[in-house]
Amino acid sequence: MITHTPQEHLSTAGFLRLKEVLKLFPVSKSTWWLGIQTGHFPKPVKLSTRITAWRVCDIQKLLTEMARQNELVANDSACNDAAIDGRMPQ
Protein backbone atom coordinates (compact mmCIF):
# COMPACT_ATOMS: atom_id res chain seq x y z
CA MET A 1 0.00 0.00 0.00
CA ILE A 2 1.30 3.44 -0.89
CA THR A 3 0.80 6.19 1.66
CA HIS A 4 0.88 9.83 0.74
CA THR A 5 1.76 12.73 2.95
CA PRO A 6 -0.35 15.88 2.69
CA GLN A 7 2.71 17.65 1.34
CA GLU A 8 2.65 15.51 -1.83
CA HIS A 9 -0.73 16.93 -2.80
CA LEU A 10 0.38 20.58 -2.72
CA SER A 11 1.43 22.45 -5.81
CA THR A 12 4.93 23.87 -5.74
CA ALA A 13 3.81 27.50 -5.98
CA GLY A 14 0.88 29.62 -4.99
CA PHE A 15 -1.03 30.37 -1.84
CA LEU A 16 -3.23 28.59 0.67
CA ARG A 17 -6.08 30.16 2.61
CA LEU A 18 -6.48 29.47 6.34
CA LYS A 19 -9.15 26.81 5.81
CA GLU A 20 -6.76 24.83 3.57
CA VAL A 21 -3.83 25.29 5.96
CA LEU A 22 -5.87 23.98 8.89
CA LYS A 23 -6.63 20.81 6.93
CA LEU A 24 -2.88 20.12 6.97
CA PHE A 25 -2.37 21.21 10.59
CA PRO A 26 -5.24 20.05 12.78
CA VAL A 27 -5.23 22.93 15.24
CA SER A 28 -7.77 25.64 16.01
CA LYS A 29 -7.63 29.04 14.34
CA SER A 30 -6.57 30.68 17.59
CA THR A 31 -3.77 28.14 18.06
CA TRP A 32 -2.58 28.78 14.50
CA TRP A 33 -2.52 32.56 15.02
CA LEU A 34 -0.71 32.14 18.34
CA GLY A 35 1.85 29.96 16.56
CA ILE A 36 2.43 32.77 14.08
CA GLN A 37 2.95 35.28 16.89
CA THR A 38 5.45 33.00 18.63
CA GLY A 39 7.31 32.20 15.41
CA HIS A 40 6.35 28.51 15.24
CA PHE A 41 4.25 28.95 12.08
CA PRO A 42 4.98 31.05 8.97
CA LYS A 43 3.65 34.58 8.65
CA PRO A 44 0.79 35.15 6.23
CA VAL A 45 0.72 37.35 3.16
CA LYS A 46 -2.03 39.94 2.68
CA LEU A 47 -3.33 39.51 -0.88
CA SER A 48 -5.93 42.24 -0.39
CA THR A 49 -7.60 44.06 2.48
CA ARG A 50 -9.81 41.04 3.23
CA ILE A 51 -7.72 38.13 1.94
CA THR A 52 -4.89 36.56 3.91
CA ALA A 53 -2.99 33.54 2.64
CA TRP A 54 0.20 31.56 3.16
CA ARG A 55 2.82 30.73 0.57
CA VAL A 56 2.75 27.06 -0.38
CA CYS A 57 6.55 26.94 -0.13
CA ASP A 58 6.39 28.15 3.50
CA ILE A 59 3.79 25.50 4.38
CA GLN A 60 5.83 22.78 2.64
CA LYS A 61 8.93 23.86 4.59
CA LEU A 62 6.99 23.67 7.87
CA LEU A 63 5.64 20.21 7.02
CA THR A 64 9.17 19.00 6.21
CA GLU A 65 10.57 20.42 9.45
CA MET A 66 7.80 18.83 11.51
CA ALA A 67 8.30 15.45 9.81
CA ARG A 68 12.03 15.66 10.53
CA GLN A 69 11.37 16.48 14.19
CA ASN A 70 8.92 13.58 14.49
CA GLU A 71 11.52 11.26 12.98
CA LEU A 72 14.15 12.43 15.45
CA VAL A 73 11.79 11.92 18.37
CA ALA A 74 10.88 8.43 17.14
CA ASN A 75 14.55 7.50 16.72
CA ASP A 76 15.41 8.88 20.15
CA SER A 77 12.52 6.96 21.68
CA ALA A 78 13.75 3.73 20.05
CA CYS A 79 17.22 4.28 21.52
CA ASN A 80 15.76 4.93 24.97
CA ASP A 81 13.58 1.80 24.73
CA ALA A 82 16.60 -0.27 23.73
CA ALA A 83 18.63 1.05 26.66
CA ILE A 84 15.83 0.20 29.06
CA ASP A 85 15.48 -3.32 27.64
CA GLY A 86 19.24 -3.84 27.60
CA ARG A 87 19.34 -4.06 23.81
CA MET A 88 21.80 -2.20 21.67
CA PRO A 89 20.34 0.29 19.15
CA GLN A 90 20.71 -0.79 15.55
Tell me, yes or no, whether 3 lies in a domain.
no
Tell me, yes or no, whether 36 lies in a domain.
yes
Tens digit of pLDDT at every position of the chain (90 positions): 444 455 556 666 899 999 999 999 999 999 999 999 999 999 999 999 999 999 999 999 999 999 999 888 877 766 665 555 566 555
Name residues whose C-beta falls within 8 Å of residue 20's C-beta, 6 or more positions apart in sequence: none
Tell me, yes or no, whether 55 lies in a domain.
yes
pTM of the shown model: 0.70
Report the C-alpha gap between 54 and 47 in whole angstroms: 10
The helix/strand/coil state of 74 is helix
Report the C-alpha gap between 84 and 81 in whole angstroms: 5
Boundaries of domain holding 77: 15-85
Tell me, yes or no, whether 5 lies in a domain.
no
Tell me, yes or no, whether 43 lies in a domain.
yes
> What domain count does the chain have?
1
